[in-house]
Structures are given as C-alpha cells and as structure tokens.
C-alpha cells in the first residue's frame, strides 16, 4: 500500500464508529501538530434555529437526519474554510459522516483540490455501533445503526479500518503508517 504525504486525513464513518477516538490517537502519535475538525463541531456551532428546521438540519426520532439549503450553504463555507486552513499549512484530521455518500465525498474533493489527502473509511458493525450509541447516551437512538453502512456507499478510500473489535490506537497506527 502506498504512503500519502497527507496534509489532510479524512475519516468517514457512521455515528459511534470510533472516528473521534481515532482522531485523538492520531494527534498523539503523528509528528507535527494536527487539528481535528468534525461535523459535530459544525452542527454545534450553528444557531439553535438551524438545528431543528427543514432548512437547517433535522434529527428524526428513528435516527434519520435530513439537511436543507441553509445547512448546505453553511457546510460549503465550513469545508472551504478547512481547505483554506490546510492550504495555509495546517495539518487537519476531518471527522466526517458522509450522509450523501459519494456526493459528500465529492464536495470535499472539490474543495481540497490538489492538497494531499488520505481518505480513510472507519467501519463498525451496526450492532456494535448501536451498543456504543446506547452507552454514550448523547445521540438519537438509531443513528449509529442506520449510518453504519450507508455512509460508505460509493465512497473511495485509500485505507479502511474496522473498529468493531480493533481499538482506536491500533486503527490510528495503521492510518499513521500510511500518512507519510
């Protein structure tokens, strides 16, 4: 497997798949400082009015998520801002959930342009992700199971890791081994 002199590492996986834990481990083992920015931060930064509206983002009782035009506009600015930070020299780990599958990845590909990116799929069995979701208690029940496979459909990766039984540290070491 080829190594990538990454400026950006994109971790894509469903809710409760272990992306954030892997990102924290990567920050500890990679040389140079790496910033972690994720979709949860974007949602938390949005005004409350956008967090439960059809034009913003809505979380259904069954774990489904729908986004509207205001969300897409803010998301586009968020992605462009992260790309600008990387172009300015920051090394960035993106903690993402590609709800739009290949279209979500394409938004990032377009924004990141010629920056060196390591694309990583973070997989976790739906039942295990649901167990973690329940234990966390801070997610809408059903989100983890519904996203476990959905977010990977049509997405292309340089590397995939599976956190169903592998700890975050082990997955991070595998990723770090590919990020030159």
pLDDT along the chain (180 residues), means of 10: 84 96 98 94 93 86 85 96 97 96 97 97 97 84 91 97 98 94
pLDDT for 1 equals: 64
Query: On the CB side of 156, how many CA atoms lie within 13 Å of its CA?
Result: 5
Give how far the C-alpha of residue 94 lies from the chain's centroid of Cα atoms, to the nearest Å. 6
Is residue 158 part of the annotated active site? The answer reads no
Phi, psi of 141 (to 5 degrees): -60, 130
What pLDDT is attached to residue 141? 84
* pTM assigned to the model: 0.93
pLDDT at 69 (0 to 100): 93
- Pick the catalytic residue from 40, 62, 95, 114: 40
The answer to whether 12 touches 96, Cβ cutoff 8 Å, is yes
User: Rounded CA gap, 163 and 144, in Å?
Assistant: 13
| 94 φ, ψ (degrees, to nearest 5) | -100, 125
What pLDDT does 176 receive?
97
pLDDT at 137: 72
CB 93 within 8 A of CB 30: no
- 136: helix, strand or coil: helix
């Amino acid at each position: 497997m080829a190594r990538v002199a990454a400026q950006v590492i994109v971790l894509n996986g469903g809710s409760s798949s272990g992306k954030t834990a892997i990102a924290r481990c990567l920050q500890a083992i990679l040389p140079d400082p790496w910033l972690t920015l994720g979709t949860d931060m974007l949602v938390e930064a949005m005004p409350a009015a956008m967090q439960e509206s059809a034009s913003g983002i809505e979380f259904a009782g069954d774990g489904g998520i729908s986004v509207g035009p205001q969300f897409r506009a803010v998301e586009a600015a968020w992605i462009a801002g992260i790309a600008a930070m990387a172009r300015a020299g920051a090394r960035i780990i993106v903690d993402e959930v590609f709800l739009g599958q290949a279209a979500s990845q394409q938004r990032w590909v377009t924004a990141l342009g010629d920056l060196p990116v390591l694309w990583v799929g973070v997989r976790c069995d739906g039942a295990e992700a649901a167990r973690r979701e329940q234990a966390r208690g801070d997610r809408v029940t059903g989100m983890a199971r519904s996203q476990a496979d959905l977010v990977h459909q049509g997405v292309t990766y340089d590397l995939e890791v599976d956190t169903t039984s592998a700890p975050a540290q082990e997955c991070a070491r595998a990723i770090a081994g590919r990020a030159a």
